[in-house]
Amino acid sequence: MPEQITAIVTGHSRGLGAAIAAELLTRGAKVLGLARKGNPALAAAHPGRLTEVALDLADPVALAEWLPGLGAHLGGAGPVLLVNNAGMVEPIGPAGTLDPSAIARAVALNVTAPLMLADALIAVTEGADDRRILHVSSGAARNAYAGWSLYCATKAALDHHGRAVAEDKRPGLRIESLAPGVIDTDMQAAIRATTEAQFTLRERFVGLKESGGLASPEDCARRLVAHLIGPAFGASPVTDLRDI
């Protein structure tokens, strides 16, 4: 992929999203970061190539109002990438104990925003030769865990969206819903902060942290971006980075 890459990365302000944005910028891409907060360090390190938009992706109305301007950020004839990274693991707890507003926010951030962005990108890049959409999924999309009904369901939605869009066979479009593995981010800290009553597998994740079993965001981002811009991306709509 020698041409100028333009990439949209959601949740670029921290964690895996920040690492993905940094890796893309290091490889010479222009990056549009969408998040509630900016990433001053990343912007300073890559002046002129990181554009940041302050946007609450859990607010579908705000996102819908912003989307008509998406095309203005996608100048040039090179490849266009969308990395739907932003997400949340909360609310955590058994069915019947979850706050309705927390359920709505999780669905909006984990499902509604990625699908809105994907559809808008496909529309605005009609006729482009190389456009790629990456949903950051999870093993929880493919395996059910007590206490994670919302997280499992929302990540499974991304997987099935990837499958269905692949069936549309839009010209020049590749899509993949990829589980990146267990990464040392704030999401893992939120999991460890739960109680056994909320999440029965809590001690397993505590053990992963204590034993050094969590991958670093930077290492994951290097492998993920290499795959994203590589020739095999999109060959299967649902994948796991650990199998690539």
Catalytic residue among 148, 151, 205, 233: 151
Distance CA 49, CA 30 (A): 5
- 186 CB contacts (<8 Å, ≥6 apart)? 14, 15
Question: Given the structure tokens 């819908």, which residue do they identify?
Answer: 64
> Which value, in Å, is the radius of gyration of the alpha carbons in the chain?
17
Q: Give dist(CA 12, CA 18) in Å, integer.
A: 4
Question: How many other β-carbons are positioned within 10 Å of the β-carbon of residue 123?
Answer: 11
> From CA 32, how far away is CA 9, in angstroms rounded?
6
223: nearest Cα among 161, 179, 175, 159: 179
**Dihedral in degrees, nearest 10, Cα atoms 59, 168, 160, 106:** 0
The question of whether 145 is a catalytic residue gets the answer: no
Identify whether the C-beta of residue 24 lies closer than 8 Å to the C-beta of residue 7: yes
d(CA 66, CA 181) in angstroms, rounded, equals: 31
The catalytic residue positions are: 151
